A and B are shown apart, each in its own frame.
Chain A
Amino acid sequence: MNPENGKKSLFASRRSFLAVPPALFLAGCRFASGGKVDSTLKGFQRFNDWIQAKVFDPKKMAQEYSDEELTPEDGFRVNGYDTDEPDMDIPHWRLIVDGLVQKPGEYSMEEITKLPKYVKNLRHCCVEGWSMIPKWGGVLMKDFLDMVGADPKARYIAAECGDDYYTAWDMPSAMHSQTLLAYEAYGKPLELEHGAPLRVVMPVKLGYKSAKWITRLTITNEKPGGYWEDQGYDWFAGL
């Protein structure tokens, strides 16, 4: 590439613009959903979900932070995008458990809070890219699943929420020893906007898996969908 060899400037050549179109092509195209491109993308997404499930190591812990590293409470963020705060009848709230479970039924807050309490400062990573480190308090989802006799060999858990949100997890992520059913944040009872009375905190997955206002858990072997997952976000969403 000695300049001496330069016979003709590339910019001076009309044919040189052949070099540009790939980028413009990608920029200009609208990729119709349901088309070949869309099904290829979805296929790769399922492949990536599969890889993520294989890579997931239940013994790998998310970093737990010191109180100095916490996001200040006034920065405890609510992602209100596309969600409405539901009217939760907190005094009469029950968590319904059904599916592949020995003791299906409706569980009250008193029964849940009898389980050992954990307080953890964990990073919440939103799919949008921002993150925060709140201080959570609650019980381990694993302890609750053990209490209700959920079949540990079942593959999935589907969650329903008070605001019609729904999502799902693979059993190993639900049984992870940092996955919480949280009823406290920053040492105080969870506020309605943050998912009161009970929400999920799952630091091994993207934020949309940490469902708020949960009302029902179904243990199942049939892969459940999710509000965002059904719209094209990754199902596994592991971190």
Chain B
Amino acid sequence: MSAQKNYQHPFIIRATHWLNFLALTIMIMSGLRIYNASPIFPFLSSIPDNLTLGGWLGGARQWHFLGMWILGINGVIWVVYNVLSRHGRGTTIFSRKDVGGVVPMILYYLRLRKQHPPSGKYNALQKAAYTSVAFIGIGAVLTGVAIYWPVQFGVITRLFGNYDFARIWHFAFMAALVLFFGGHLFMVAISGWSNFLSMVTGYKKEG
């Protein structure tokens, strides 16, 4: 018998996942070039050119404000799909039921617990990460609006303090996304090739 195949990710989830990767790559790299025009933190006075996109401030802004459409439209499709299909309910979205699973999972990762706690598609910590990153994404978009349109949408700007603070928040949400990306890559790496492929084909080989 050949290995059983297990359907993991519907087409819309896979498509939006990779479009999101493309959009965030554009947004973060062009954003770092924009950052270089007027650095916020003394300890981060210049991002190396190789990590940036756009070549100069004007070019970076062009990329950033093209990428925002991919990110925004893709994000709306993802949210609408999740709400209508209830796709992530129980499997991906962190709920009250998952609270109890957090500590055992931490103990397991710290090797203080031998047995992997029972979990479905994703464990409690993964659910927490995937759920919070959606909110981080929303935060990145909102802080972006706050500094793109501080007069037309001044309400949002003031939600984050003021224009200068909103810039710092925008950077912080970006940094949180990059941190998630690092952890995400690590988890994907230790979970194996078949797991990675499931986000491309939809199916995962089960041993």
Chain A interface residues toward B at CB < 8 A:
1-11, 13, 15-16, 19, 22-23, 26-28, 30-31, 40-42, 44-45, 48, 55-57, 60-63, 123, 125-131, 203-204, 228, 231-234, 238-239
Contact = CB atoms under 8 A, between A and B. Distances in A.
A62 B193 contact: no
Contacts of B63: 41
Contacts of B38: 126, 128-130
A169 to B, nearest CB: 14
B159 interface: no
A44 B69 contact: yes
B57 A8 contact: no
Contacts of A15: 193
A238 B38 CA distance: 19
Contacts of B149: 55, 238-239
B130 to A, nearest CB: 10
Q: How large is the interface on B (under 10, 10 to 19, 20 to 34, 35 or more residues)?
A: 35 or more
Interface of B: 21-22, 25-26, 29, 34-35, 37-38, 40, 50-53, 55, 57-59, 61-63, 65-66, 69, 116, 119, 121-123, 126, 149-152, 154, 158, 163-164, 167, 187-196, 204, 206-207
A23 B206 CA distance: 30
A130 B40 CA distance: 9
A125 B29 contact: no
A73 to B, nearest CB: 18
Contacts of B195: 1, 5-6
A211 B61 CA distance: 21
B192 A239 contact: no
Question: Which of B57, B187, B193 has the most CB atoms of chain A within a 10 A radius of its CB?
Answer: B193
B189 A10 contact: yes
Given A26-B29, A55-B149, A2 B116 contact: yes
Given A10-B192, A16-B193, A129-B35, A22 B22 contact: yes
A231 B22 CA distance: 27
A6 B151 contact: no
A2 B50 CA distance: 35
A123 B192 contact: no
Contacts of B58: 228, 231-233
A60 B152 contact: yes
24 contacts: A1-B122, A5-B192, A5-B204, A6-B192, A7-B207, A9-B192, A10-B188, A19-B196, A22-B21, A22-B25, A41-B59, A42-B62, A55-B149, A56-B152, A62-B154, A125-B163, A126-B38, A127-B57, A128-B37, A131-B164, A232-B58, A232-B62, A238-B149, A239-B150
